[in-house]
Structure 1
């Protein structure tokens, strides 16, 4: 069986191209993030897996859950997904859409963990340095992890830059153990 992300890719690409064409990337990103989070909920997953409910009814449950009026284009997209029995792919579709948007806007989200709270100036300096290196606008999400002892660990997707003291000690221990 194909991986969910592989099945989600053509839907995400199609909806992204349509959103781009209508200059609605931001609103679609927000809408897909909402329905993606909803579909990732354990109770909703159980409903989507229920063979006793029609696919049409499953889509209607999304419409009923929306606090405000759901845009017609999103309703139609959810109906297409329901027709193809792909509503469960909404979290992956949302993730892929966000990836396509980041590519379009040449941005990258990076999680930065440090042993101590970074000042706004340090955050700005790090973001600027990473932006120059990656040739993209860098959006930092910071967290404090006292176990690092010192230094920094930067994560973005499958890229990890470990410049922490904990990381250096682990490398030394491994080298000494070899």
Structure 2
């Protein structure tokens, strides 16, 4: 099929041509707008997402801090079927920045006795939080989230363009069918 098409003409939809239809020009503008929105929307959304995630994780690293705590109860022993060094949940007690005693559940190694000192991570209000993400992992997480957010936003105008182009193509084919129904029977006549 490609052998019958001839050489590819760039920007043919915008060139002056007596065979060019309005639908060709409309399709060209739709494709241009879709690609602009796909690329710019995806890139801008990705960069904004990367910046927001990196700032959020940097704020966590700056605000969250490790505080000493003590186990209130013995950590359950590891059963013989589980792997060695198993992690279990147990209760701990610590002091919040305002001086009030707090308690909660954290994960520790199995078999640790009560009154053992451990480090827990808290936010500025003294609530338990996870260990903040390191700089390298935060950068990787931000880049991945930015990539997926940008791809998701870029997929919307791309999909809309594909749907609209499909509709224009069906409309064009319907018009060709109508024209063929009208003109096709005239081809069988010959002049005498």
- Alignment TM-score, normalising by the size of structure 2: 0.22
Higher-Rg structure is 2
**Greater helix content:** 1
Q: Which is bigger in relative contact order (C-alpha 8 A, separation at least 6)?
A: 2
